[in-house]
Amino acid sequence: MISVEEASQLILDTIEPAESERVPLARAAGRVLRQPVVAERDQPPFDRVMMDGIALRYDEFGAGSRSFKIQSTQHAGDERQSLKSGHAIEIMTGASLPQNADLVVPVERITVNEHGAHVEANYEGKRRQFVHARGSDHEAGAELLRPGTRITPMDVAILASAGLADVEVAREPSIRVISTGNELVPAGEPIADHQVRLSNGPAIVAMLEAHGYHKASHEHLADDPKLLEARIAEHLDAADVLVLSGGVSMGKADFVPQVLKDLGVEVIFHKISQRPGKPMWFGMGKEGQSVFALPGNPVSTLVCCRQYVVPALRDIDGEPPPPKAFASLTQAVTFKPRLTNFLPVRIVSNATAQLLAMPAPTNTSGDFAALSGTDGYVILNRNQTEFMASSVVPFVRWQ
């Protein structure tokens, strides 16, 4: 049986990147950039005044002058003026420093009357103080953002400042979440004793939403091979990514692998040496669709969705994998089966800013209520059965 690492690698080797599209700046946040972004102009584009006050000639101030006739006022956005000797220009934050001016005195340090502007007697001014020099943040042509960046609100400011009214991003994959199982009844509908509430469909959609994938819709299907085949065929036609849940184990009603095979989906792997989630299945459709079939146990489904589907979607977008995170176990853990164990944890940090992982084991892989309040899971490698307290292990956040 393949390992967790092999499964992840096979998925990344198989999936195909999404195409690019242009979106208006207002729709760019959360999307993955597909173009380099360089500075349109120097930043700031001119010597920018950083205080409301007056602009002076430093040499006149340095020679002892403290009173100046007011020549004019220059606001932010006004064309740059030229300062005459013996004068001051009233200047506002964001304005371009007037020609011949090289001293800005804040308005709090002057008085103004009918004779002009007067600087406090003992005021110590420095040449070019309160001037944000042209190009001091970056120069025109400087690289500001790289392809593969998931666009944050801060990046939207950068895109706007680079003059981009629209931007090239990865086309958002359309995702179909298909849960299966005769026993499952959605919330809001009457339920009999022998039936179970359907929770995986809404949970998968929510997890994908939390990771920035908004084009996921959910359908539930009964364990009927004919129905499964017809509906999954339609979803394969319509979507880039299918995430199925349930029906991938060895039971008599576990039709999903056979149906996918019959629909021409090439199996890349079935089963990973892990717990929870051992029966996980992955394949590729004829048109390059990624097909994930997750085991139905709710804990298995959530862990497999986070562990395999989310990184695959990032890769489809062209976003590089995030740096690996690690945490230190607060207590010893023994796990006998020779399977990699995804162990839910709560995370706290200590005074040395180390992440501490407090195990929050679920009762079974159906015990999803125990996941509430957990931050993610640690990955305990299958080659080891005893993990001492303070062992440093990989950690994955739910979101």
Residue 297 binds: one of ligand AMP, Mg ion, none (C-beta under 5 to 8 A by kind): ligand AMP
Q: Binding string to Mg ion for residues 230 to 259, with x set by CB under 5 A, is what?
A: ----------------xx------------
Q: Cα(200)–Cα(185) distance, rounded to whole angstroms?
A: 11
DSSP state of 316: H
Query: Cα–Cα distances in Å, from 28 out to 22, 202, 374?
Result: 9, 26, 31
State which residue, 101 or 304, has the beta carbon closest to Mg ion: 304
State which residue, 98 or 247, has the beta carbon closest to Mg ion: 247
- The least CB distance from residue 20 to ligand AMP, in Å, is 34
State which residue, 130 or 282, has the beta carbon closest to ligand AMP: 282
Interacting span for Mg ion (CB under 5 A) from 181-189, 279-287, 302-310, 314-322 = 181-189
State which residue, 74 or 179, has the beta carbon closest to ligand AMP: 179
Question: Can you give the binding site for ligand AMP, defined by CB under 6 A?
Answer: 179, 181, 183-184, 196, 198-201, 245-247, 249, 251, 295-298, 366
Residue 179 binds: one of Mg ion, ligand AMP, none (C-beta under 5 to 8 A by kind): ligand AMP
Instruction: Determine the residue type at 181.
Output: G
State which residue, 59 or 209, has the beta carbon closest to ligand AMP: 209
Phi, psi of 139 (to 5 degrees): -100, 160
* 311 contributes a contact to Mg ion by CB under 5 A: no
Q: Cα(64)–Cα(121) distance, rounded to whole angstroms?
A: 10
- The least CB distance from residue 201 to ligand AMP, in Å, is 6
- The least CB distance from residue 196 to ligand AMP, in Å, is 5
- The least CB distance from residue 248 to ligand AMP, in Å, is 6
Parallel/antiparallel/unpaired status of strands 376-380 and 340-349: antiparallel
Residue 276 binds: one of Mg ion, ligand AMP, none (C-beta under 5 to 8 A by kind): none
Residue 245 binds: one of ligand AMP, Mg ion, none (C-beta under 5 to 8 A by kind): ligand AMP
Query: Cα–Cα distances in Å, from 312 out to 241, 281, 325?
Result: 10, 14, 18
Q: Cα(155)–Cα(171) distance, rounded to whole angstroms?
A: 18
State which residue, 43 or 274, has the beta carbon closest to ligand AMP: 274
Among 125, 181, 311, 376, binds Mg ion (CB under 5 A): 181
Interacting span for Mg ion (CB under 5 A) from 115-123, 179-187, 271-279, 374-382 = 179-187
Q: Cα(297)–Cα(293) distance, rounded to whole angstroms?
A: 12
- The least CB distance from residue 280 to Mg ion, in Å, is 14
Residue 173 binds: one of ligand AMP, Mg ion, none (C-beta under 5 to 8 A by kind): none
- CA 254 centroid distance within chain: 35
- Listing DSSP states for 238-286 in one string gives H-SEEEEES--SSSTT--HHHHHHHTTPEEEEE-BSEES-TT-EEEE-T
- Are 355 and 330 within 8 A, CB to CB? no
State which residue, 40 or 183, has the beta carbon closest to ligand AMP: 183
Parallel/antiparallel/unpaired status of strands 274-275 and 340-349: parallel
State both tokens at 343: 């162990």
Strand ranges of the sheet holding 266-270, from the earlier edge strand across to the other edge: 216-221, 175-180, 241-245, 290-294, 281-284, 266-270
Contacts with Mg ion, residue ranges (CB under 5 A): 181, 246-247, 296
